[in-house]
Amino acid sequence: MHALRMMSKCSCCSQADLSYNNFSEDSVPPVCRETLQLSECLGNHPCSKDRYSLYINCGGGKVTVRGIDYEADNDQGGEAKYVPTNNNWEVSSTGHFWDTDITSNDYVAHNVSVLRMNDSELYTTARLSALSLTYYIRCLGNGNYTVKLHFAEIVIRDNSSFYSLGKRIFDVYIQGNRRLKDFDIESKAKGVDKEYFHEFKAVTVRDKTLEIRFHWAGKGTTAAPKRGTYGPLISAISVKSEFNPPNDRQKKILIVVGAVVLFLVLVFMILGALWWKGLLWDRISREEALRGLDLKTGIFTLRQIKAATNNFDAANKLGEGGFGIVYKGVLLDGTLIAVKQLSSRSKQGHREFVNEIGMISGLQHPNVVKLYGCCAEGNQLLLVYEYMENNNLADALFGEKEVQLNLDWPTRLRICIGIAKGLAFLHEESPLKMVHRDIKTTNVLLDKDINPKISDFGLAKLDEEENTHISTRVAGTIGYMAPEYALWGYLTYKADVYSFGVVALEIVAGKNNMKYRPNENFVCLLDWALVLQQKGNLMELVDKTLGTNFNKEEAMTIIKVALLCTNPSPALRPTMSAVVSMLEGHTAVYEITRDPSNYGDQMGYKSFMNFDLQRSEPHSLIRSPESLSLIRSSDSMLIESSSTSAYDL
């Protein structure tokens, strides 16, 4: 069939004797026998100039990887398909899959799960064939070349089920010589969804033509994970000369001089534009910082994220946090994601973008939000997280009525314990022990089962083991910050413990700490709780919407633990592991009674009260220019305007 197809492409071969299945060379008229040679038939397409390299993204569109442009190869395949291109290369596919429902789309494979290897753009698609898949590359300068073949098994699975029983085996021929026999991608790559490339040195090109053929010899399986899964698969092809291409010396000098002049003009224009807009040094700093990170997450392209979010469609907007807008998206494999788009003009945003990636990329815990990857292209700064169906805890407790959730008592208790376990992990169990610095209800996300996950690590600080505390500029949210940190910049794990205590009170009461003021004598919800403790009437704190449908003993435990956590002295606050133990009933809760009026004056709440009365939302400190900032130094304090988060990752 291949010979017949090639004859049909050659102008001289319009007739052939096929009677009695006579496919021998003698059945072809003598004038046409010369066209049975591939190189001569391809020779009918003249070359305007020789080329010395070629990069093909098999089965996919045009992509740029590591500065190399891979040409598109996204035409539909078929059981007998020959696709000529305008780029001096062709692809031929032969063979029909053993499946009655096969369509032309089944000759191109797409990844079915998130790919986390380097250069994943090359492996999200692959070209398939049931029998033989051949690439003809023309107009190559004669000489030796290095041929690199890129593979990744993205169809067969390894999930300990029937879908993992498949085994794809095929042979690889280059210039008619078999170079790989019984080749198994999964075996070579040591698993599925993992990249593997095989490099062939000193591949000789004569007659300006290179032929690369992938052939299924009937080995391996044919029906796993589904019927018709077999045959060769290739993700990308790289061809590069092993010699310096010949050039006319004078022409080369003119080209080099012209290119240098044009390059310098463009560089000065770009640098001038960036300098004028104030973006130059911020961008350089951001890219240097990203290169310095040992990332354990994937790198997404801006094109992938635009496709997932429908080009950041307003209909997909989940909310707007202190550092940017959050969008809902869907990856090609169906995975739901949340994309946080940070402002590229904010210096603070750059710092927090890099900090958040570095902090969370290696964290794995049921109560810590999972980071899938990031993107830093042009003026776009993007973080890609797992999608949380039930938004954040603040909306669930005291948001607008249409977004509030009816949280029963067992759910509230589970949320409290989950947040405590997440913080205990960050403080004591994580390989990178850290202080979060911004624990609040908007930074606790809820998944589809209303399980809590701590998010927004843009302000987190790593533990410095040689120091008992960290002296740092103040950053956080008024109403949740520990007083010793808000007033003096004294930061320890106990700052997060304090913030947790405030959040625990909000969960029990269903009220916002900074918004709830029973009368002018109270600063906040915590202040009211201290008064109720003095009166011996802590049960009055419990959310009235629960009625009598709550466990009084469990409610009292949470309230007492919350008051312990918010003690003005960090030394008297428990660790988060001790908090988990008390909440789960493994250890008793000890009580320390304090005077609410003395507490409020001593720890400086009155200094924030008048400021807070002018605003209706919790305030974030050390945010981008669009959010409230309070920057402490030895001789100055700056307070800026504020915005709040609806879905603050």
Q: Which residues does the annotation mark as catalytic?
A: 438
* Residue 400, helix vs strand vs coil: coil
Dihedral (C-alpha) 55, 59, 60, 63: value to the nearest 10 degrees?
Answer: -10
Cβ atoms of 506 and 495 within 8 Å: the answer is no
Cβ atoms of 468 and 492 within 8 Å: the answer is yes
Cβ atoms of 346 and 337 within 8 Å: the answer is no
The residue assigned the tokens 């073949």 is 149
Q: How far apart are CA 355 and CA 594, in angstroms?
A: 38
Instruction: Give the residue among 342, 348, 340 at the shortest CA–CA distance from 379.
Output: 342
- Give the list of residues 6+ apart from residue 397 with CB closer than 8 angstroms, or none: 404, 407, 441, 506, 507, 510, 511, 512
Q: For strands 371-377 and 298-299, give the pairing.
A: parallel
Instruction: Give the residue among 297, 84, 117 at the shortest CA–CA distance from 196.
Output: 117
335-369 burial: b if 16+ Cβ within 10 Å, else e = eebbbbbbbbebebbbbbbbbbbbbbbebebebbb
> Residue 114: phi, psi to the nearest 5?
-65, 125
Cβ atoms of 630 and 481 within 8 Å: the answer is no
Q: Is 340 annotated as a binding residue?
A: yes
> Residue 322: phi, psi to the nearest 5?
-65, -25
* Long-range CB contacts (within 8 A, 24+) of 97-100: 97/130, 97/228, 97/230, 97/231, 98/130, 98/222, 98/223, 98/227, 98/228, 99/226, 99/227, 99/228
* Long-range CB contacts (within 8 A, 24+) of 613-619: 615/642, 616/515, 617/642, 617/643, 617/644, 618/440, 618/442, 618/477, 618/478, 618/479, 618/480, 618/512, 618/513, 618/514, 618/644, 619/477, 619/478, 619/479, 619/514
Cβ atoms of 510 and 555 within 8 Å: the answer is no
Distance of CA 71 to CAs 88, 194, 227, 242, 423, Å? Answer: 11, 22, 31, 21, 48
Going by the DSSP 8-state scheme, the letter that residue 370 receives in this structure is: P
In this structure, the number of other CB atoms found within 10 A of the CB of residue 615 comes to 15
Cβ atoms of 150 and 238 within 8 Å: the answer is yes
Binding residues: 340
Binding residues for ATP: 340
